[in-house]
A and B are shown apart, each in its own frame.
Chain A
């Protein structure tokens, strides 16, 4: 496979790694939740690039012929599931950050090292 054919997949890998780098170096849990969302968005890029078909249009047949060439709809449906799960996970994590801030008065992960009842 030539490099150009590989590039969209590599972009997805790069987004995953840059999101993980942000998680590792984060000093603010809200920032860390954002980084997790970035890392997760790699899966959208990967899914959609796997499903791409040269010359294909959107897999919606309300205004095109049913014989037209479309991109893979299965991965698009998976990406939709992915977006919903990502949004709910972000909401839950942010509410955990709020609770942490209430109990420990900090959201710097490096300062959250003491066990407290």
Chain B
């Protein structure tokens, strides 16, 4: 299909979507309305479960089974990227030395790396009390490690990042979430039911299973994101006979600018 034909087809479809969507919006509850039946019930259940952060209680207690699915999507994505970006025989790692790093950048990275790691652990551990939790803290942990890449070079990052181990840790943590659910079955309740003692409201040990699942998710997300980033970073330092590390296609933006004719990279 030609380009103009495709855009015309899209505009027709967009008009239909816009009209149908606007009509559907008029049937939605008023913006800012005071009646939120699901929200009210979720808050009541959260307070009953003595968890201060309602979002964590919903994600890791009331809807824990859905979060198991969400976490499996993350594991599946890590597996997919691992399969797609594995190094093939004809590719080899270039042994270029990294560029020299400014002393101030090195100092910044060295000082901030432990602080960022600690922040990540704090966010994971306090998921049941304050905004945060396994997903958010896990991403902070993973990106904190990459301050080593900013402050030194790729080999320094490689040394503090045992990738084979993290591959395993990722799978074990995902399995731990699945196994934690079995605790409910053991005591004769539903799968992933919050069976641990709920503790005192607004303390670190409150929420029963919530902090435990948060920890498992935190480890899984952290190792998963590190592995993901490792495969992407490897692509930039891998050279092969038929690949060029730079992608020369210029983007055609939504403003409709015509890209230059250099979009086919020569091999």
The reply to whether B39 and A72 form a contact with Cβ atoms under 8 Å apart is yes
CB B90 to nearest CB in A, in angstroms, measures 10
Residues of A within 8 A of B108 (CB): none
Number of residues of chain B lying within 8 A (CB) of chain A: 71
CB B71 to nearest CB in A, in angstroms, measures 8
Residues of A within 8 A of B259 (CB): 27-28
Q: Measured between alpha carbons, how far is A95 from B39 in the docked complex, in Å?
A: 38
CB nearest neighbor in A for B35: A53
The reply to whether B63 and A52 form a contact with Cβ atoms under 8 Å apart is no
The reply to whether B70 and A6 form a contact with Cβ atoms under 8 Å apart is no
The reply to whether B202 and A72 form a contact with Cβ atoms under 8 Å apart is no
CB B256 to nearest CB in A, in angstroms, measures 7
Chain A 6-46 per-residue mask, 1 if CB under 8 angstroms from chain B, else 0: 11111001001110111011111011000100000000000
Q: Measured between alpha carbons, how far is A72 from B26 in the docked complex, in Å?
A: 20
The reply to whether A70 and B84 form a contact with Cβ atoms under 8 Å apart is no
CB nearest neighbor in B for A74: B38
Contact of B39 among A7, A9, A73, A80 (CB under 8 A): A73
CB nearest neighbor in A for B130: A62
Q: Which residues of A contact B (CB under 8 A)?
A: 1, 4-10, 13, 16-18, 20-22, 24-28, 30-31, 35, 49-54, 58-62, 66, 70-77, 80-81, 83-85, 88-89, 91-92, 94-96, 98-99, 101-102, 105-108, 110-111
The 3 closest A-B pairs by CB, nearest first: A72-B39, A27-B252, A88-B77
Of the A-B pairs whose beta carbons lie under 8 Å apart in the complex, a sample of 22, sorted by A's number, is A7-B31, A17-B14, A20-B14, A24-B6, A24-B10, A25-B254, A27-B252, A27-B263, A28-B263, A35-B254, A52-B31, A58-B131, A59-B55, A61-B52, A66-B47, A72-B38, A73-B39, A73-B55, A74-B42, A94-B232, A98-B84, A105-B265
Task: Name 8 extra pairs, CB < 8 A, besides A28-B259, A77-B59, A84-B73.
Answer: A6-B31, A8-B31, A17-B17, A53-B32, A60-B130, A73-B55, A73-B58, A91-B81
